[in-house]
Structure 1
Amino acid sequence: MRSKSMARTLVTATVICAVGAAGLVTTGTAAAAPSGKQQAAASESVAPLAVVNLGLTSAEAQKVQRWLRTYFNYTGAIDGQLGTESWKAMQRFLRQQAGYTDAIDGIVGPNTIRALQYWLRQANGYTGAIDGIAGAGTQAAFKRFANGLG
Structure 2
Amino acid sequence: MRSRVRARKLVGAAAVLGIAAGSLATAGTGSAAAGPVAAGPVAAGPVAEPAVHGGDVSTLVTNNLGLHPSQAVNVQYWLRKHWNYHDTVDGLLGPNSWKAIQRALRVHWGYNGAVDGDPGVNTIMALQRLLRAGHGYGGQIDGDPGPRTQTAFAHFATVALTTRPNGLR
TM-score range normalised by the length of the shorter chain: 0.5 to 0.7
Residue 47 of structure 1, CA deviation: 2.9
Measured in 2, the distance between the counterparts of 1:58 and 1:92 equals 21
What is the match of residue 86 of structure 2?
75
Measured in 2, the distance between the counterparts of 1:124 and 1:64 equals 14
What is the match of residue 106 of structure 1?
117
Scaled by the length of structure 1, what TM-score is found?
0.67
What is the match of residue 59 of structure 2?
47
Q: Does 1:90 align with 2:86?
A: no
- From 138, 141, 150, the equivalent of 2:149 is 138
Q: In proportion to residue count, which structure has more helix?
A: 1
Measured in 2, the distance between the counterparts of 1:120 and 1:98 equals 10
CA offsets, 1:1-34, max 9 Å, x none?
xxxxxxxxxxxxxxxxxxxxxxxxxxxxxxxxxx
Runs of 4+ in 1 over 6 A off after TM superposition: none
> 5+ residue gaps in structure 1?
1-42
Give the number of equivalent residue pairs.
106
Residue 125 of structure 1, CA deviation: 1.2
Q: Secondary structure in 2 aligned to 1:47?
A: strand
Scaled by the length of structure 2, what TM-score is found?
0.60
% same residue = 48
Residue 88 of structure 1, CA deviation: 0.2
Q: Secondary structure in 2 aligned to 1:89?
A: helix
Q: Secondary structure in 1 aligned to 2:59?
A: helix
Q: Secondary structure in 1 aligned to 2:77?
A: helix
Measured in 2, the distance between the counterparts of 1:129 and 1:63 equals 26
The higher radius of gyration belongs to 1
> 5+ residue gaps in structure 2?
1-48, 51-57, 162-169
What is the match of residue 69 of structure 2?
58
Amino acid in structure 2 at the alignment position of 1:104: V
Measured in 2, the distance between the counterparts of 1:92 and 1:111 equals 13
Amino acid in structure 1 at the alignment position of 2:141: I
